Amino acid sequence: MNKPILKVTKFEIIRQLKKPSFWVAVLAMPVLIGIGLIISVVASAPQEATTISDDTKIAITDEAGIIPKDNPFALYATKDEGIEAVKENQVDLYYYIPADFTETKKVEAYRIQNGLGLFDQQTEALKGILAGYVEKEVTDLETLALTGGYAIEDIKFTSDGEISNAMGKAIVPAVFVIAFFIFVCVFGNRMLMTVVEEKENRVSEMILTAVSSKHLIIGKILALLALGMIQILALFVPLVIFMIANSGNEMMSAIMSMIVIDPVTLIICVALFIFSILLFAGFCTYIGAITPTAKDAAQFIGPIIIGVVLPLYFMQLMLSGEVNGLVEFLTYFPFSAPIALMGRVAVGSISTTGLIIGIVELAVLSVVVVRATVVSFQKNAINFSVALPKFLKKG
- Please tell me whether residue 279 adopts helix, strand or coil conformation: helix
Provide the β-strand partners of residue 106. 151
CA dihedral 19, 24, 27, 32 (to 10 degrees): -140
- Could you say whether residue 210 binds other proteins (CB under 8 A)? yes
- Please tell me whether residue 17 adopts helix, strand or coil conformation: helix
Helix (H) or strand (E) holding 338: helix 337-347
Stretch that binds other proteins, among 7-15, 258-266, 333-341, 351-359 (CB under 8 A): 7-15
Least separation in angstroms between residue 31's CB and other proteins is 27
The site map against other proteins for 169-208 (x = CB under 8 A) is: ----------------------------x---xxx-xxxx
Residue choice 7, 57, 79, 371 for contact with other proteins (CB under 8 A): 7
C-alpha–C-alpha distance, residues 200 and 393, integer Å: 18
Measured CA to CA in angstroms, residue 290 lies from 128, 132, 195, 197, 392 at distances of 61, 67, 9, 12, 10
CA dihedral 31, 340, 40, 314 (to 10 degrees): 160
Least separation in angstroms between residue 367's CB and other proteins is 22
Least separation in angstroms between residue 284's CB and other proteins is 19
Residues 15-34 that bind other proteins (CB under 8 A): 15
Residue placing its CB nearer to other proteins in the complex, 51 or 212 = 212
Residues 215-234 that bind other proteins (CB under 8 A): 215
Residue choice 53, 209, 324, 352 for contact with other proteins (CB under 8 A): 209
C-alpha–C-alpha distance, residues 105 and 102, integer Å: 5
Let me know if 198 is exposed, middle or buried by CB neighbors in 10 A (0-12, 13-18, 19+): buried
Residue placing its CB nearer to other proteins in the complex, 75 or 210 = 210
Contacts of 288 (CB under 8 A, 6+ apart): 191, 192, 193, 194, 195, 196, 297, 373, 377
How many chain residues touch other proteins (CB under 8 A)? Answer: 23
Residue placing its CB nearer to other proteins in the complex, 102 or 378 = 378
Residue placing its CB nearer to other proteins in the complex, 200 or 361 = 200
Least separation in angstroms between residue 215's CB and other proteins is 7
- Could you say whether residue 295 binds other proteins (CB under 8 A)? no
Least separation in angstroms between residue 288's CB and other proteins is 15
Start-end of H helices in 201-262: 204-207, 213-245, 250-258
Least separation in angstroms between residue 360's CB and other proteins is 32
Least separation in angstroms between residue 198's CB and other proteins is 9
Helix (H) or strand (E) holding 85: helix 79-87
Closest CA to 218 of 89, 378, 90, 334: 378
Least separation in angstroms between residue 292's CB and other proteins is 12
- Please tell me whether residue 126 adopts helix, strand or coil conformation: helix
Stretch that binds other proteins, among 100-108, 272-280, 315-323, 377-385 (CB under 8 A): 377-385
What residues make contact with other proteins under the rule CB under 8 A?
4, 7-8, 11, 14-15, 197, 201-203, 205-212, 215, 378, 381-382, 384
